[in-house]
């Protein structure tokens, strides 16, 4: 009896547990549901991005009125659910959402800070593709970064320029705003008569309506991290260059007063891209270019995909080489998280050093020694910025490039060249982390490089010898 009672008790306890477990599943599946996470826990920006789905395509239709500063938009986002979804989030800062739907059925919308929560009428099943449409508008407000710089939708005298690194794209369209979720884009932009609209990718249409308004359409087929999306509106003059052998079509733009002065350097783009392709492998996108604005609301250049943007004051050959190098390093191979930013900036800075070495008679070693002597480069190790405020500080750029130069000196030029070409090939149109890079470099070198990483990539302070 005793044993029986004990066994019965155990069975009852197991049944209760099973019921409890079953009850839980019921509650999460049916009553509470399984919402996607509100952030992707990036080490610096935990709320950026959203869990539970993967965007494949954004179709953005935008109309901007520079007079009032008002932006009206529709975002059509095609995504695949990576879990059952009773609700999911999009990142959007400011602006007003007029309505939202999922697969053409109205969805409930809730707003909390920069998190937009959409609850579709029916739960989305894991693996299903679904289409979300958000109609929104308002006067976009830029974001002030931890380091004091401004990003997002930056208003100019007669237009705007949108830059989004790291978090600014949520000021002008709702999305999954973390670099780990890359997607293709279609963007249709309407601007008032007399103005020109520009964006990333291939311009597939340009038409002028009876009232003079200009609509352009832009297609970005290759995956793009949302921080690399851009729009520029103003009195731009455009210039295109037909593809030469092995190059892609180039479309550049500059605001009218600086169009002539910037034309010679804009004309160098096909050649610089071709030179970089010889070192880094085939150019990863189907078009290239640059957008130069005279408005200094933009305090820095940004490598926006296929068509980097520059304030006129930063449109020089070194910066152009840097932003074009990002097309391989950062745009095609994108950081897995913002902690891996040195993989963007260290490589783009090293690309500057390589360029002067090959074409301007200044060896990379000279840049390395100069950087070594700069105290500001030793504030922290490149792979571990202490806070979001330090993300774009000199160690990420200069010490990042120093890591690459030390790697080159350690493995030799031949192996280093193989890494320079092989890395963007291996992670083409994907994401990669610092660990991915160190493992890859070791696999090409055929040996362990721990000491190099310990000192140059992760070490605090300055090594005794350069
Ligand atoms: N990635 C840009 C460059 O080419 C710099 C962006 C700076 N952004 C910022 N929020 N401070 O170096
Ligand atoms: Zn850069």
Task: Name 171's bridge partners.
Answer: none
pLDDT of residue 32: 62
Structure token digits, residue 410: 């350690």
- Which backbone phi and psi does 99 adopt, to 5 degrees? -165, 160
300 lines ligand 1 (CB under 6 A): yes
440 lines ligand 1 (CB under 6 A): no
149 lines ligand 1 (CB under 6 A): yes
393 lines ligand 1 (CB under 6 A): no
Alpha carbon of 315 to ligand 1 centroid (Å): 14
Least trusted range by pLDDT, from 99-113, 142-156, 194-208, 375-389: 142-156
Quick: pLDDT tens for 284-339: 999 999 999 998 889 999 999 999 999 999 999 999 999 999 999 999 999 999 99
Compare 12 and 390 and report the one with higher pLDDT: 390
Question: ∠ CA(296), CA(299), CA(300), 5° rounding?
Answer: 125
Rounded alpha-carbon distances, angstroms, from residue 111 to 114, 130, 396: 7, 21, 35
Mean pLDDT, rounded, of the chain:
93
pLDDT of residue 298: 92
Alpha carbon of 344 to ligand 2 centroid (Å): 6
Alpha carbon of 302 to ligand 2 centroid (Å): 7
pLDDT of residue 104: 97
Alpha carbon of 434 to ligand 2 centroid (Å): 17
Quick: pLDDT tens for 50-66: 999 999 999 999 999 99
Of 230, 234, 135, nearest to 187 by C-alpha is 230
Minimum-distance ligand to the CA of 314? 1
392 lines ligand 1 (CB under 6 A): yes
Of 146, 168, 227, 300, the residue with max ligand 1 atoms within 8 A of its CB, to mutate for a pocket test, comes to 300
**At 61, which helix (H) or strand (E)?**
strand 53-65
- Which backbone phi and psi does 262 adopt, to 5 degrees? -95, -5
Indicate the pTM of the whole model.
0.93
Compare 73 and 466 and report the one with higher pLDDT: 73
Quick: pLDDT tens for 353-389: 999 999 999 999 999 999 999 999 999 999 999 999 9
Minimum-distance ligand to the CA of 349? 2
Enumerate the H helices of 316-395 as residue ranges: 317-325, 342-359, 364-373, 394
323 lines ligand 1 (CB under 6 A): yes
Q: What average pLDDT does this structure show over 94-120? A: 98
Give percent of the chain above pLDDT 90.
Answer: 89
352 lines ligand 1 (CB under 6 A): no
Going by alpha carbons, the residue nearest to atom 6 of ligand 1 is 302
**Residues less than 5 Å from ion ligand 2, measured at CB:** 345, 348
Q: Quick one: which atom of ligand 1 is closest to the CA of 345?
A: 12
Helix pair 342-359, 434-445: axis angle to 10 deg = 50
Cβ count near 420 (within 10 Å): 21
Of 302, 310, 311, the residue with max ligand 1 atoms within 8 A of its CB, to mutate for a pocket test, comes to 302
pLDDT of residue 11: 45
**At 77, which helix (H) or strand (E)?**
strand 70-81
pLDDT of residue 156: 93
Q: Quick one: which atom of ligand 1 is closest to the CA of 330?
A: 1
314 three-class SS: helix
What Rg value do the Cα atoms of the chain yield, rounded?
25
The HSE-up count of residue 415 (CA atoms within 13 Å, CB side) is 17
Of 123, 128, 126, 152, nearest to 139 by C-alpha is 152
Alpha carbon of 96 to ligand 2 centroid (Å): 32
ipTM over the 0.95 cut-off: yes
Chain centroid to CA 80: 20
**Where does residue 332 rank: exposed (0-12), middle (13-18), buried (19+ CB within 10 A)?**
buried
Minimum-distance ligand to the CA of 154? 1
- Rounded CA separation 175/167 (Å): 11
Alpha carbon of 349 to ligand 2 centroid (Å): 7
Going by alpha carbons, the residue nearest to atom 8 of ligand 1 is 165
Chain centroid to CA 174: 15
Q: Quick one: which atom of ligand 1 is closest to the CA of 151?
A: 10
Alpha carbon of 169 to ligand 1 centroid (Å): 14
Compare 4 and 434 and report the one with higher pLDDT: 434
181 lines ligand 1 (CB under 6 A): no
- pLDDT of 21 > 80? The answer is no
Of 434, 332, 438, 340, nearest to 391 by C-alpha is 340
Phi-psi sector, 302: left (phi>0), alpha (psi -120 to 50), beta = beta
pLDDT classification of 26: cutoffs 50, 70, 90: very low
């Amino acid at each position: 009896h005793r044993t029986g009672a004990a066994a019965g008790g155990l069975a009852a306890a197991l049944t209760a547990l099973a019921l409890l477990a079953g009850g839980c599943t019921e509650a999460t599946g049916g009553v509470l549901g399984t919402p996607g996470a509100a952030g992707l826990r990036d080490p610096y920006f935990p709320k950026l991005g959203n869990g539970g789905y993967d965007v494949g395509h954004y179709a953005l239709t935008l109309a901007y009125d520079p007079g009032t500063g008002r932006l009206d938009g529709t975002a059509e986002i095609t995504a695949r659910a990576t879990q059952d979804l009773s609700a999911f989030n999009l990142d959007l800062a400011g602006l007003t959402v007029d309505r939202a739907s999922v697969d053409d059925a109205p969805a409930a919308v809730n707003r909390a800070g920069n998190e937009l929560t959409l609850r579709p009428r029916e739960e989305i099943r894991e693996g299903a593709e679904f289409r979300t449409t958000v109609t929104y508008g308002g006067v976009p407000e830029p974001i002030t970064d931890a380091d004091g710089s401004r990003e997002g939708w930056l208003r100019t005298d007669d237009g705007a320029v949108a830059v989004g690194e790291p978090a600014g794209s949520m000021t002008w369209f709702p999305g999954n705003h973390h670099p780990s979720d890359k997607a293709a884009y279609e963007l249709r932009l309407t601007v008032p008569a007399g103005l020109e609209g520009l964006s990333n990718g291939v311009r597939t249409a340009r038409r002028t309506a009876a009232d003079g308004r200009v609509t352009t359409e832009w297609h970005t087929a290759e995956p793009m991290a949302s921080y690399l999306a851009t729009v520029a509106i103003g009195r731009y003059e455009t210039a295109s260059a037909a593809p030469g052998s092995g190059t892609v079509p180039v479309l550049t733009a500059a605001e009218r007063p600086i169009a002539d002065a910037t034309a010679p350097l804009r004309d160098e783009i096909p050649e610089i891209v071709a030179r970089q392709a010889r070192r880094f492998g085939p150019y990863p996108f189907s078009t290239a270019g640059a957008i130069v604005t005279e408005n200094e609301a933009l305090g820095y250049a940004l490598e926006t995909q296929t068509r980097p943007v520059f304030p006129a004051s930063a449109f020089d050959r070194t910066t152009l080489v840097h932003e074009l190098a990002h097309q391989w390093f950062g745009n095609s191979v994108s950081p897995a998280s913002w902690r891996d930013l040195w993989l963007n900036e260290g490589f783009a800075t090293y690309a500057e050093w390589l360029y002067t070495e090959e074409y301007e008679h200044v060896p990379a070693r000279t840049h390395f020694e100069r950087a070594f002597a700069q105290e500001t480069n030793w504030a922290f190790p490149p792979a571990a910025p202490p806070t979001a405020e330090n993300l774009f500080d000199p160690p990420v750029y200069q010490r990042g490039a120093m890591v690459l130069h030390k790697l080159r000196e350690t493995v030799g030029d031949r192996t280093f060249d193989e890494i320079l070409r092989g890395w963007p090939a291996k992670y083409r149109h994907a994401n990669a982390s610092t660990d991915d890079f160190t493992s890859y470099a070791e696999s090409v070198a055929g040996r362990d490089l721990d000491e190099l990483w310990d000192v140059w990539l992760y070490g605090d302070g300055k090594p005794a010898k350069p």
